[in-house]
Amino acid sequence: MPASSPLSAVLDAAERVGKLNLRTEEIASALPAISADALRQALLRQQRRGRLIRLSRGSDHWLIVPLQHATSGAPPLEAWLDRYLSKTLQVPYYVALLSAAETYGASPYAVMVTQVMVAKRRRPITVGRHEVVFHTRTRIEDMPTRWHETPDGRFKVSTPELTILDLVQREAQLGGMARVREVLRGLWPACTPVGVAQALDALQDIPVAQRLGTLLALDEQAGLMTSVTDWLRHKPLRLVALEGGQASSTAVAYHVDAAFKVRLPVDLKGSNS
């Protein structure tokens, strides 16, 4: 049986102590007798064998793939996402939208990609079978988040209340308001009036707040709706459509929710209708 390579021994030792994320300089310091060129070649060989993944070109961030995750090509997101974004790239982030809803058990759809908010545009990355797509959010560090923790690790995720606002704001990118409403119905129980007020303060988007107020009214979520009403009090409201990209049309009959100044189709029903 051939002896394992020096790099294999380093990777095995790191995996035994649960350290799956390694930087090139860390590996090099553990193998001082190996030249930079020889180490690069050894890393590429381990990558071809599926033992290692480089998370993005130029990042020098390597991810060990334990045998139990060989089929998926990478360990779970919790094992590497936070370390990659906050430590290697040093960018603020949070898992968002349908991916955030899924962490709260509120997505009725299979989420094929992980949606992550960052401050500036980034290209998607593919890590094994995981595809991560990035959306941008201004003032991202002001947004309310929490940790999603599992035995494999943890990552930052939007609070349930910020998640509902993000979903309403970006419904056109997510398949439309009908799809978003299905997700929102699973999220209402996870939200609190205080959390809604905090998320509204952070986002500072009046039209989104108006749309959220109408959706809460349709689903008879009076407690959460009060927070929206209070937040909108004394703010200038203009008439907005329930769906952000919705154009006026004579082919569809609309009525106006006077409380929130939102135009919506007359046949739109609440969840209890």
pLDDT at 2 > cutoff 50 = no
85 neighbors 118 (Cβ within 8 angstroms)? yes
Rounded Cα–Cα distance for residues 41 and 50 (Å):
14
In single-letter form, the type of residue at position 171 comes to: E
Architecture per CATH, 1-65: Orthogonal Bundle (1.10)
Rounded Cα–Cα distance for residues 83 and 65 (Å):
15
Which residue, 83, 82, 57, 62, is CA-closest to 74? 62
Choose the weakest-confidence range: 24-38, 52-66, 184-198, 244-258.
244-258
Q: Is 81 exposed, middle or buried (0-12, 13-18, 19+ CB in 10 A)?
A: buried
- Domains of the chain, residue spans: 1-65, 76-158, 173-265
Report pTM: 0.89
Average pLDDT over residues 237-245: 88
